[in-house]
Amino acid sequence: MEPEQQSTEHHRRLSALIDLVNRVYGTEKMILKAGKLEALSLIRSRKPAQQLLGLQRLVFENPTLSEIPAEEEYPHVFNELEEELAEQLARHSLEEALELKIKERLEEQHEEYLLEVKKEIIREWSGVENPQTLKKYARTEKMFAQQLSRSAQEMLRPAGLDQIIGQSEAVTALVSKLASPYPPHIILYGPPGVGKTTAARLALKSVLKIPGAIFSEEAPFVEVDGATLRWDPREIADPLLGSVHDPIYQGARRNLVEGGIPEPKLGLVSEAHGGILFIDEIGEMDFALQNKLLKVLEDKRVIFDSAYYDPTDTQVPKYIRLLFEQGAPADFVLIGATTRFPEAISPAFRSRCSAVYFEPLTPVEIEEIVHSSAARLNLAIEPEAARLVSRYTCEGRRAVNLLVDAYGRALYEQQCRGEGGQKLLISAALMQKVLVSNRLYPLSPVSTGEKAETGRVLALGVSGFTGQVLEIEALAFPAAAPGRGSIRFNETAGSMARDSVFVAASLLRKLTGVDLKDFDLHLNVVGGGNIDGPSAGAAIFLAILSAVKELPLRQDCAVTGEISLRGQLKPVGGITEKIYGAHLAGLNKVVIPAENETEPSRRFPGMKIAVAGDIEGLLPHFLSRSAVQQLRTKES
């Protein structure tokens, strides 16, 4: 190429480079940058070599370059500058594209944020209510304003422990245990309707009046029905002990869901912290739940666990971290009430609780409850009407219900007669109608009397928390052939009662020399009842003895006790309940084993309780003196 053409080509490439630099940096930015790099005067020079040096300082951002390129080096310098500018231009284009996308994304987010703010403002302005919810709210408020009068049970419920009739010993035991500096967990046993729940509700208020009580004035009393407690073995839900709501399936709070944080939900045991947890019908609770509650009673806290909990997560709130690491406080005193026997409670659970037994109400106490309730209802009641109630129920709650039924019937009949305004009278005839309409039967259908009978004896048994009088009768005939007699006994009486028959037969032969194989003997438990245990042994012996020897037995006395082959009267259980059953039947005397003499009988001051250690001591209570003397003569 000719020198002139080459010079023109260099000039053209140099001008193109300057324009490209202008486009990459912009005129103002290029001037400022060239000034800082001491390249502005070189670029404005008319000499191509100086212009190239200025472009080198500007493009490579190196003010120390000072060597002016020779003409033969121009192509190489042009190539370096073009490559560097191409790279910067590509980078600049990419940055512009990214900035554009960022700007668009920011605008989108800004619009979404504005939309969310608008929605929030609309929600705050309009609220969550709509015409349907407001209509339901108004209907519910109207329901609250309209209510019936207080129920009779609510109005007649004792307002203080001193108003609970017939349970002074149980109430004293309950309050004394709670007033202790170290109150135990307590289970109240007893039949329904005798005041267990009422006593538990009033006990805390009574204890707070005692100086030195460990409960504070703010101590909670949390009540729950054990028959309605349900829990999930997967620990998804447990209203008693508490559970953990995971953030995926169980709907923890929104701010926790977004962070994947589980949320513990405290149960009733934590709600009762520092106070009393009362579980009515605790005997209906599942054994597994009883054992889980036992663990809480021992630890005094509930331990939570969840696969979603991450102790290293800094987003976990402090209270959730505290509950997972230390558990939920659950230091309370448990009071359980049940109408079932202790065997219905888990043995491990039962062993850690103190027992308080509520007694069945006596007829006198039922009459007192009826008269007291009648006075509070402003009713007049005949004494015989109250006595009728006491013959048909031993539950205070049912006695009150019967009185309320009679009240409603008396009011209705008074209005039908047009005698409104007069004080109501509950007569015995009216109460009898109420008893018939309720399909109730007397508590003790066994008849007693003063006249002695042969082959009939009254025994004592236990049914639930109350006792009952059993009527055992025997009939003996000479066998068709000596030594070929037979014995018949109720199949439903039970195997242990049948064993008592054979023990009685052996003892009879020992004492009198009579072999039952010479008789056809028929024993019968009237009513076909099942005798669960050997406690009817003494009664069976007396019935057989009376039938075989034709000796009349007293019918105003009942007996309980196991008989041994040596003629000893062995101790049995349920003495208090059995005496109660004898009292209901109108008996004034019972005979019990000597070893049961220390058991309580103070609630029946009119009952004569005799003791016997063996057959010799038992016979005088049921046979005449001449009959006893006759037996002793034959025995000797």
pLDDT tens string 54-63: 777 777 777 7
Higher pLDDT, 203 or 313: 203
Q: Contact, 514 vs 508, CB < 8 A?
A: yes
Give the pLDDT of residue 494. Answer: 65
User: Among residues 269, 280, 290, which one has the least CA distance to residue 332?
Assistant: 269
Q: Is the pLDDT of residue 546 over 60?
A: yes
How far, CA to CA in Å, does 389 sit from each of 163, 360, 469?
20, 15, 19
Q: Is the pLDDT of residue 172 over 60?
A: yes
Quote the CA–CA distance of 59 and 337 in Å, as a whole number.
Answer: 93
**Mean pLDDT of the 141-150 span:** 73
**Mean pLDDT of the 7-12 span:** 74
Give the pLDDT of residue 446. Answer: 64
Give the pLDDT of residue 493. Answer: 67
User: Among residues 201, 202, 304, 211, which one has the least CA distance to residue 262?
Assistant: 304
- Is 535 annotated as catalytic? yes
Q: Predicted confidence band at 185 (pLDDT cuts at 50, 70, 90)?
A: very high
Quote the CA–CA distance of 102 and 95 in Å, as a whole number.
Answer: 10
Q: Is the pLDDT of residue 150 over 80?
A: no
Give the pLDDT of residue 257. Answer: 56
411's tokens = 């009011």
Average pLDDT for the chain: 83
Give the pLDDT of residue 514. Answer: 84
Give the pLDDT of residue 529. Answer: 64
Higher pLDDT, 385 or 447: 385
CATH superfamily of 155-357: P-loop containing nucleotide triphosphate hydrolases (3.40.50.300)
Q: Contact, 389 vs 403, CB < 8 A?
A: yes
Q: Please state, for a pLDDT cut of 90, what percent of the chain lies above it.
A: 16
| pLDDT tens per residue across span 411-434 | 888 888 877 667 888 899 999 999
Give the HSE-up count for residue 179: Cα atoms under 13 Å, Cβ half-sphere: 15
Higher pLDDT, 254 or 523: 523
Q: Is the pLDDT of residue 48 over 60?
A: yes
**Mean pLDDT of the 396-406 span:** 90
| pLDDT tens per residue across span 303-313 | 988 888 888 88
Give the pLDDT of residue 199. Answer: 92
Give the pLDDT of residue 110. Answer: 79
> What pTM value is reported for the model?
0.70
| pLDDT tens per residue across span 237-292 | 788 888 887 766 655 555 565 557 788 889 999 999 999 999 999 988 888 888 88
Contacts of 222 by beta carbon, 8 Å cutoff, 6+ apart: 268, 271, 272, 275, 276, 277, 278, 332
- CATH 3.30.230.10 location in the chain: 453-635
- Look up the CATH number of domain 453-635: 3.30.230.10
Helix, strand and coil percent figures for the chain, each rounded to 5: 50, 15, 35
| pLDDT tens per residue across span 101-140 | 888 888 878 777 777 777 776 666 656 666 777 788 888 8
Residue of 33, 177, 570, 578 marked active site: 578
Q: Is the pLDDT of residue 46 over 80?
A: no
Q: Predicted confidence band at 49 (pLDDT cuts at 50, 70, 90)?
A: confident
Higher pLDDT, 272 or 628: 272
**Mean pLDDT of the 607-626 span:** 87
Give the pLDDT of residue 173. Answer: 93
Determine the length of the chain. 636
69's tokens = 């390129």
Contacts of 492 by beta carbon, 8 Å cutoff, 6+ apart: 525, 528, 529, 530
- Is 270 annotated as catalytic? no
Look at residue 470 and give its three-state secondary structure.
strand
Residue of 270, 346, 373, 535 marked active site: 535
- CATH 3.40.50.300 location in the chain: 155-357
Q: Class of the 363-437 domain?
A: mainly alpha
Give the pLDDT of residue 117. Answer: 76
